[in-house]
Structure 1
Amino acid sequence: MFRMKTLGALAAAGALVVGLTACSSGSDSPEGEGDGGSGGGDEGGLITIIVNDPANPYWKTEGDLAQAKAEELGYEAVVGSHTGDTNTENTLIDTAIANQSAAIILDPANADGSIGAVKKADDAGIPVFLVNAEINEAGLAKAQLVSNNAQGAALGAQEYVNQMEEAGTYVELFGAPSDNNAQTRSNGFSTVISQYPDLEKVGEEVANWDRTEGHDKAQALMQSNPDLEGVLAGNDEMALGAIAALKEAGELDGVVVGGFDGAPDAVEAVKAGEMAYTVLQPVAEFSQTAVELADEYIRTGEEPETEKQAIDCILITEENVDNMVSPFVYEE
C-alpha cells in the first residue's frame, strides 16, 4: 500500500494564445488601441502582464493580483498567457512593444528560450520584471522574483520524511524539464531524503506540472511498484492527479502524498486528509511586489538593488491549513 504525500503539478498548456487574453481599466481592446502617451490609460500608461496558463489557479492568481495592483497604482493592465509556448510568448512581447507598454510583468515560458523575448523588450526600452520563474541570463530583466524553491523543497521534504516515518518506498513526479524550478525542487528533495537510507526512491516520471499527466504517470508507477508507500510530486497538480489514480485503485489509504504550491484544491485535499501537506508559494507577494517595483522604475528610473530575489515558502499541514484565508493567501 502507498503512504502518499504528493507535490502538486501545474496545469498543462492549453490552446495557443496569439494575443492578450484579458484587459481592464476601460479599454475594450487587448491591443490598447486609441490610448496615447506610453500606450496605456490616461494615468500611468499600460502594464502588460504575461502568465503561463490562467486555467491553472496558481497562474490565474498571479495574473489577477498583478493586474489589480497595477490598476490600484493608476495603470491600465492587460493579461496575456503563453501556455508554456515560447512562440506565443514572443508574439505577446511583440504586442506589448507595439502598444508601447510602460513595463512588462512576465512569468517566462522557458529558462533559456525566453531570454530572446526579454532581450527584445529591453532593447525596445521596456523594463521587464520576471515572476515565478527565472531565465538563465542576468542583467536583462530589472528583477526576477521567485519563490525560494530550494528552501520550500527542503521544508516539504523534511515533512515528507516525518510523514513516512523515515522509511519506505516512494516515487517522484517531476515537473517541466524546461523550468529551472523543477530541477531545483527535485534537488532539494534529494538533499534531505538522501540522509535517510531507509527511504528508497523506486521510480521517477516527468509529468510536466499537469494533473492529467500526474494521474497517468502515477498509474504506471503504481503498476511497476505495487507496494509503493509514497508519492512525491513537484507541484500540486501532479500530486492531485496521483491522488485521483490512487483513489481509482483503492490504494490511497496509507500512501503519503506531498504537494507544492498551496493551490486551493490541494488545500482542500490537506483538510480532507488525502494530501499530507503542500508547500505554499508566495505568489500573492511576488506578483504584487513586481508591479510595485515596475511602478518605482517608471516613476523614478531606480532599479531594484538586487535583480534575483527569492521569497520563502510556507509549509501547510492539517495543523495550520485553516490559516489559508483565500487562494494562495496565508494569515497567522
Structure 2
Amino acid sequence: MRIGKSRMLRISGLAAAAVLAVTGCSTGGSAQTAAAGNNQVPPTASAGELRDHALNSLQGKTAAFVPVGMGTPLMEEWNRQLERGFKAAGMNYVLRDPNWDTAKQAEAVQSLINDKPAVLVVHNFDVQILAKLIQQAQQAGIYVIQINMVSNYKSDAFVGADTIDLGRRIATDIVAQCGASTQTSHEVQIVQGDATSGFTLDVMAGAKEVFDQHPEIKIVSTQAANWDRTKAHDITATVIQQHPNLCASWGFWDQMQYGAAAAIKEAGKLGQVKVFTSDHSNIACEGVRDGMFFQSYGYSVPTQGTDIVAIAKYLVQSGQAPGTARIADYTPLVKIDKSNWNQPNMCYDGKNDGLTVR
C-alpha cells in the first residue's frame, strides 16, 4: 500500500480547529494525584519565568507514537510532523510501528506504558482494541492523544477529522450526482475501511442522516476492504459486474479507494461511475487530475500533526492529571475536485513541505 508523493493543506492550526473541553472525568490513580496541582505558573510570573517553566517542563520528556502501520503518506506525514515538532520542543521522540498488526500494536502500547513517556499518541485500529490500555496509560500518569480514529475510551485529547460531518458532506454530494433529480440508476457502492473503526462508524452515521432523507438512493453494496487497495479493487470488480449501471462508488480512504477506481476503469465505466473518497495525499490529487476520482475531501493532515504537538505541550506544561479532561480538535475539511486539485498545499506526500502535484 505504499504510494509515494503527496501534498499539503495548511489552514490554521489549533486556533482554527473546533475544540471541546469536558472536565471532571478523572480515571483515578496515585500518579494522577501527584501530578495535579503541581507545575503551575502564577499569573504574575515574569516573561522569563514563563519561558523557563515552558522549556523546563518539556526538556528531556518523551513523546511516543504508535500508528496502525507506516508506509503510506498519511502515516509518514503524521510521523514527520510529530518528530519535527517534539524534537524542536526539546523532547525525545519514539516511534513504534506495529506494521498493521493489531496484536503488535497492543504490545507496543503496553511496552510504552512500562517505559512511561510523558505523552502517548495512538491511532486506533478499531474502537475497542486499545481502550483498556489507554485507560491504563492515563492511570500510569501518561497523557494520551488519539488521532483520526477514536476509541470507545476517550483519552485526554482527540485530533482528527470530524468524521460525522465528513459522512454528511460526501453523502450530500452523492445525492447531488445520483439522486432523484438525476437521470441515473441511483445505485451507490460503499467501500468501508475496517467495519469497527471509529472512522468508519462515524462516517456511516453521518451518511445515514442524509441517505435516510433520500430513499431513491439505492446502496447496492456496503463492504469493508480493511483499508487495503487490492481488496477494494476485487470487491468493486464484482459489484460493477452485478450492477453495470452503478452511479457512484464511495471509499473511505484515497489510498484504498484507488483500487476501486482501477476496477471501474478496467470495466470501462469511469465517468459513468463517479468515484468519491477522502484524505488528501498525493494519490487524491493525482486521482482527480487523471479522472480516477470525481472528488475527495481533505482533512488537513499536516495540521493534525502540528496540533497534536501543541496540545501535548500544553498538557505537559499544565500540570493537570492525565484523564481529568477531554478535548477534541477537529481539523478543517476541504473538498478537492477538478476546480482546485492543483492549488498550492492542497495535497501532501509525507516527505516534503509545499508539494505541488502537476
TM-score using structure 1 length:
0.79
Change (3 A) 1:200 1:153: same
CA distance in 2, matches of 1:330, 1:239: 24
Amino acid at match of 2:302: A
Is 1:156 matched with 2:170? yes
**Which residue of the other structure, out of 71, 74, 86, is the alignment partner of 1:70?**
86
Change (3 A) 1:91 1:324: farther
Q: Secondary structure at the match of 2:117?
A: coil
Measured after TM superposition, the shift of residue 184 of structure 1 is: 1.4
Q: Quick check: which has more Rg, 1 or 2?
A: 2
Show the counterpart of 1:281.
Answer: 299
**Which residue of the other structure, out of 82, 86, 111, is the alignment partner of 1:95?**
111
Is 1:224 matched with 2:238? no
Please say if residues 173 and 234 of structure 1, whose CA atoms lie closer than 8 Å, have aligned partners that are also in contact.
yes
Q: Secondary structure at the match of 2:342?
A: helix
Structure 1 residues 2-37: Cα deviation after superposition (integer angstroms, max 9, x where no partner):
xxxxxxxxx59xxxxxxxxxxxxxxxxxxxxxxxxx
CA distance in 1, matches of 2:132, 2:216: 45
Please say if residues 253 and 278 of structure 2, whose CA atoms lie closer than 8 Å, have aligned partners that are also in contact.
yes
Please say if residues 143 and 308 of structure 1, whose CA atoms lie closer than 8 Å, have aligned partners that are also in contact.
yes
**Which residue of the other structure, out of 180, 192, 197, is the alignment partner of 2:210?**
192
CA distance in 2, matches of 1:300, 1:44: 16
Is 1:107 matched with 2:123? yes
Please say if residues 106 and 129 of structure 2, whose CA atoms lie closer than 8 Å, have aligned partners that are also in contact.
no
Structure 1 residues 256-287: Cα deviation after superposition (integer angstroms, max 9, x where no partner):
10011122111111122221110112322222
Q: After alignment, is 262-271 or 159-168 more displaced?
A: 159-168
Measured after TM superposition, the shift of residue 173 of structure 1 is: 0.9
- Tell me the C-alpha RMSD between the 2 structures: 2.5
Please say if residues 156 and 325 of structure 2, whose CA atoms lie closer than 8 Å, have aligned partners that are also in contact.
no
Please say if residues 262 and 292 of structure 2, whose CA atoms lie closer than 8 Å, have aligned partners that are also in contact.
no
**Which residue of the other structure, out of 76, 79, 87, is the alignment partner of 2:95?**
79
Please say if residues 50 and 63 of structure 1, whose CA atoms lie closer than 8 Å, have aligned partners that are also in contact.
no
Change (3 A) 1:300 1:186: closer
Where in structure 2 are there 5+ consecutive unaligned residues?
Answer: 3-57
Q: Secondary structure at the match of 1:111?
A: coil
**Which residue of the other structure, out of 271, 276, 279, is the alignment partner of 1:258?**
276
Where in structure 1 are there 5+ consecutive unaligned residues?
Answer: 1-10, 13-41
Amino acid at match of 1:56: T
Amino acid at match of 2:74: Y
Is 1:244 matched with 2:262? yes
Q: Secondary structure at the match of 2:96?
A: strand
Is 1:44 matched with 2:60? yes
Measured after TM superposition, the shift of residue 306 of structure 1 is: 4.2
TM-score using structure 2 length:
0.74
Taking only the aligned residue pairs, the percentage that are identical comes to 21
Q: After alignment, is 239-248 or 181-190 more displaced?
A: 181-190
**Which residue of the other structure, out of 41, 56, 78, is the alignment partner of 2:72?**
56
Measured after TM superposition, the shift of residue 114 of structure 1 is: 0.6
CA distance in 2, matches of 1:295, 1:44: 12
**Which residue of the other structure, out of 308, 317, 335, is the alignment partner of 1:290?**
308
Amino acid at match of 1:323: Q
Measured after TM superposition, the shift of residue 196 of structure 1 is: 3.2
Q: Secondary structure at the match of 1:81?
A: coil
Measured after TM superposition, the shift of residue 302 of structure 1 is: 4.1
**Which residue of the other structure, out of 342, 345, 351, is the alignment partner of 1:322?**
342
Change (3 A) 1:165 1:109: closer
CA distance in 2, matches of 1:183, 1:106: 18
Structure 1 residues 265-314: Cα deviation after superposition (integer angstroms, max 9, x where no partner):
11111122221110112322222212222122222314796423333421
Amino acid at match of 1:314: V
Show the counterpart of 1:311.
Answer: 331
Q: Secondary structure at the match of 2:190?
A: strand
Please say if residues 280 and 298 of structure 2, whose CA atoms lie closer than 8 Å, have aligned partners that are also in contact.
yes
**Which residue of the other structure, out of 204, 210, 214, is the alignment partner of 2:232?**
214
